[in-house]
């Protein structure tokens, strides 16, 4: 069921690094599929701008930086707008990263927040921190993109489901998304105390193939290989484990801990 408004709202949190273009394209691809509008938000720390104690000099520096950031964002979104024929709103702020993002989420109340995955160790630590913060601050859906995979509106999605049969049915935009998904779906489950072999695949119905993994130290790595082997272009993770899941001995996954283990775009369901 859709919200009362005509379109969904997607918020792209961008640090304006090189991967921002890929992240924005994936956000636009998803927006085209589910009829959503996009806004880009960026935060710059004041300490990255003002090094002078002179107030007048500091104001000049801020004004100059304001123009620089505005130009960077325009350079990011303009080519994407032209390629996809879509208007993209944007804004930015100077301040504490988490405070500004938290306030913006509360004010704008987006349906989906888009984040990019970091590669380097330093950026990964920063990225993981912000990802964890967003998952705590935002009750809705979170899309985590990668540099190598772009969600395109004219290309079908190979959707994988992790530890839930069909969690996408809980998504408000499930009906719209399903129109762009390849059949059959791939359902990946990690279970404990299983008498089954390490990996089992079986056809559940005409729409779903299920892969079952027994929990061990190499399970997540093995699953990541399966995702690549099956060319999964989007993995849906259900944040909320239900009693029925526990009865099936499904492992309760810590979303934050598994995010960095997959090199596949992740769609994390709302709470």
Domain boundaries, the chain: 8-145, 159-251
Q: pLDDT by residue (tens digit) across 80-129?
A: 999 999 999 999 998 889 999 999 999 999 999 999 876 544 334 334 48
Q: How far apart are CA 201 and CA 84, in angstroms?
A: 38
Looking at residue 144, what is its pLDDT?
93
Q: How far is CA 5 from CA 2, 41, 79, 111, in A?
A: 8, 21, 28, 11
Whole-number mean pLDDT of the chain?
A: 80
For β-strands 112-116 and 159-162, DSSP reports them as unpaired
| Of residues 233, 254, 222, the one with CA closest to residue 128 | 254
DSSP, residue by residue, 138-197 = --SEEEEE-SS----TTS-B-EEEESSSSGGGGSTTHHHHHTTB-SSEEEEEEESS--S-
Per-residue confidence band for 143, with pLDDT thresholds at 50, 70 and 90: very high
Q: pLDDT by residue (tens digit) across 7-19?
A: 899 999 999 987 8
CA 112 to chain CA mean position, Å: 8
Predicted TM-score of the model (pTM):
0.85
Looking at residue 104, what is its pLDDT?
97
Sheet with 36-44, side-by-side order of all strands: 88-94, 36-44, 8-13, 112-116, 141-145, 266-268, 234-237, 159-162, 185-191, 208-214, 199-205
State which fold the 8-145 domain adopts: Rossmann fold (3.40.50)
SS3 (DSSP) at 95: coil
Q: pLDDT by residue (tens digit) across 34-87?
A: 999 999 999 988 765 555 555 666 667 777 788 899 999 999 999 999 999 999
Looking at residue 109, what is its pLDDT?
94
Q: How far apart are CA 144 and CA 233, in angstroms?
A: 12
- Core vs surface per residue 225-248: b (16+ CB within 10 A) or e: ebbeebebbbbbbbbeeeeebeee
């Amino acid at each position: 069921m859709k919200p009362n408004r005509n379109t969904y709202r997607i918020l792209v949190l961008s640090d304006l690094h090189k991967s921002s273009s890929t992240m924005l394209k994936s956000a636009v691809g998803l927006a085209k599929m589910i009829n959503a509008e996009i806004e880009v938000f960026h935060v710059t720390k004041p300490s990255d701008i003002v090094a002078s104690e002179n107030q007048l000099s500091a104001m000049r520096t801020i004004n100059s930086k304001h123009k620089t950031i505005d130009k960077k964002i325009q350079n990011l979104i303009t080519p994407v707008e032209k390629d996809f024929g879509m208007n993209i709103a944007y804004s930015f702020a100077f301040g504490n990263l988490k405070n500004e993002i938290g306030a913006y989420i509360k004010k704008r109340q987006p349906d989906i927040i888009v984040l990019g995955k970091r590669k380097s160790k330093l950026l990964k630590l920063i990225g993981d921190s912000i990802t964890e913060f967003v998952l705590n601050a935002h009750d809705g859906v979170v899309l985590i993109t990668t540099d190598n995979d772009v969600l395109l509106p004219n290309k079908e999605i190979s959707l994988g489901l992790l530890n839930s049969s069909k969690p996408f049915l809980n998504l408000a935009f499930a009906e719209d998304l399903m129109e762009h998904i390849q059949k059959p779906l791939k359902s990946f489950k990690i279970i404990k105390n299983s008498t089954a072999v390490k990996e089992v695949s079986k056809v559940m119905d005409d729409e779903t193939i299920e892969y079952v993994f027994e929990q061990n130290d190499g399970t997540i790595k093995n699953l990541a290989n399966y995702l690549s082997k099956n060319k999964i272009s989007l993995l849906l993770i259900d944040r909320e484990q239900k009693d029925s899941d526990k009865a099936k001995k499904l492992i309760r996954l810590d979303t934050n801990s598994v995010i960095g283990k997959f090199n596949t775009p992740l769609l994390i369901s709302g709470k």
